[in-house]
Each structure stands twice: as C-alpha cells, then as structure tokens.
Amino acid sequence: MLRVWRRFFVITLALGLLLRGCPGVCATEAEKRPDLLLAGVYGWDERQNPSDYWVSEKYDGVRATWDGERLRFRSGRLVAAPRWFVEGLPLCALDGELWLGRQGFARLAGIVKKKVPVDDEWRQVRFMVFELPGAEGTFTERIEQLRRRIDAAGLPWLKMVEQFRVADNKELRQRLDETVRLGGEGLMLHRAEALYHGGRSQDLLKVKQWLDSEARVIAYRSGSGKFEGVLGALEVETSEGRRFFLGTGFSAAERRQPPALGSTVTYRYTGLTASGLPRFPAFVRVRQEF
C-alpha cells in the first residue's frame, strides 16, 4: 500500500508541474542558455579605428556553442548532431557557426533542425569557431589558444575562422566589398584587447553593406501586373509598433506561398527616414527558431 501511495504522489507532482507550465524543468533549461558575446553594428564613425580590431568574415550560418560535452544552439537547445561530429572536439568551450558555405543557410537550417541527424547531410557541415568563451587573456591571446586547440583536434569539419587586420576604414570597405562580391554576408570586428564577457558589446561589431532587422507579418497585399494572383507585398510591424510594406526580395516560390501571418521575418534596409521607417526595405527570409 505504501508503494502505491508513493507512486500516486510522484504522478500527482508531475501532473502539477505540467499544469503550472513545468517551472522546475523550464528553469533548468533556461540555465543552459549560454551567456555569449553579442555583436553591435559598426557605424563607420571616423572616431572608430578598425585597426583596433581583428576582422573576419561574417558567416551566414547557425550559431552554435560547445561546452566541452554538448553542442547547443544559441537558445540553449541541444543540437542533434551525429556522434562522430562531436567526438574529438576539444574539452573546452567553443563558440562559432555551423556553416554549409556561402548562401547555404536555407539548406543548413533544414539539416541542423532535424531531430534525427542524417550522416550524409552532416558530412557537408563545418563548425567554424571564432571564440573561446570564458578563456583568459585578450582576444589576440585567445585566438592563439584557439588555433592550438583546433590543430590538436585534427577534425576536418572543425575549422578556425580566419582573422586578419586592416589599417583603416578604406581598407575595411575594400575587404567588405570583396567579401560581398564573392557571395559573403559581411564582416565581423572583434576588439583585439578585449577580455571575454557575455552580452551585447562594442567589443564585437558586424559590418554589412545593408542594415538588417526583424518584423512581424500582419497582412498581405495582393500583387498586380506580373505578380497578379500572387503576393505583392507583406505588411509588417516592428517591435516599436512601426508598420510598413516589404515588396521586394521574394522568390517566385515565396510569392506563391508567402510567410505565415504572425511569423517573424528578417529584412534589410539602407537607413531610416525622418519618420523612423526603414529606407528601401527588402525581404531576406523567415526567422528560423533554433
């Protein structure tokens, strides 16, 4: 009888947690969200000196962190990577991007979101690492530590992101234009003398030809002319409540099957108008949740 009552107590407690939203379970998951360094935006301000930074390509991939035991998305959720992919990774924290190549984000997202990994697909994926979270020393010192650890691991899918220096904004612009011309997304600047810390900071900056942001889809506008019968534009709303239309950047397939109402999309733009609306906004993609 005592054993029966124990079982009843355990089941009742479990159901209570579920009905209350599983606070204990959710708190545990939340604690696993890594405290990563997040990028600000480079403003091309004459007071900013790019020679103070290491420069690298901004990879259009899926951010992932390795804690020495498990591979996680930025959200803290586990990545369902094949065992062979993570076996042999260094026994230290790594921060980087899962990457499939330039302009390969859509295919990559389909691969890494699967709960059951497909080996042949993962053979194409690279873990491009750019940081040693929590390590001591300046960024210059950390990238040397990182280089040694990646070389020692000897895994063909584990790569160190190339870091280089530029002299001034003119050279930075030239490198940015070259990267974009070759199909890249942009550049990243990491302050050479910065010690490691989490949170958004000017110690890490993204450099792009276009600015980008996100907004929620609230309505559709029908197309006309060559877009008769398909999507003409999305009406979207920013987190600040500003509404505008996205009418460019869509593929033919996306016009036939546009992003769902309520979904969040990424758009690019060249700056803001006097009223605070984006100039020349263009659709990029639906935001993927990882």
Position 4 scores a pLDDT of 39
Residue 5: pLDDT band by 50, 70, 90 thresholds? Answer: very low
Residue 3 in this model has a pLDDT that exceeds 60 = no
Catalytic residue among 32, 58, 113, 159: 58
Q: Note if 58 is an active site residue.
A: yes
In sequence order, what are the beta bridge partners of 207?
187
Residue 15 in this model has a pLDDT that exceeds 80 = no
Percent of all residues in the chain with a pLDDT value above 70, rounded to a whole number: 89
Residue 290: pLDDT band by 50, 70, 90 thresholds? Answer: confident
Convert the pLDDT of each residue in 44-86 to its tens digit.
Answer: 876 789 999 999 999 999 999 999 999 999 999 999 999 999 9
Position 214 scores a pLDDT of 95
DSSP per residue over 118-137, as a string?
-HHHHTT-EEEEEE-TT-SS
d(CA 149, CA 27): 33
Residue 132 in this model has a pLDDT that exceeds 70 = yes
Convert the pLDDT of each residue in 87-114 to its tens digit.
Answer: 999 999 999 999 999 989 989 999 999 9
CATH for the 49-207 domain, from 3.20.20.70, 3.10.130.10, 3.30.70.1140, 3.30.470.30: 3.30.470.30
Mean pLDDT of the chain: 88
- 275 torsion bin: left (phi>0), alpha (psi -120 to 50), beta (else): alpha
Residue 31: pLDDT band by 50, 70, 90 thresholds? Answer: very low
Which amino acid does the sequence have at 61?
G
Residue 1 in this model has a pLDDT that exceeds 50 = no
HEC assignment per residue over the chain:
CHHHHHHHHHHHHHHHHHHCCCHHHHHHHHHCCCCCEEEEECCCCCCCCHHHEEEEEECCCEEEEECCCCEEECCCCECCCCHHHHCCCCCCCEEEEEECCCCCHHHHHHHHCCCCCCHHHHCCCEEEEEECCCCCCEHHHHHHHHHHHHHHHCCCCEEECCCECCCCHHHHHHHHHHHHHCCCCEEEEEECCCECCCEEEEEEEEECCCEEEEEEEEEEEECCHHHCCCEEEEEEECCCCCEEEECCCCCHHHHHCCCCCCCEEEEEECCECCCCCECCCEEEEECCCC
How do the domains of the chain map onto residue ranges?
A: 49-207, 211-286
Please indicate, yes or no, whether the overall pTM of this predicted structure exceeds 0.85.
no
Architecture of domain 211-286: Beta Barrel (2.40)
Position 234 scores a pLDDT of 97
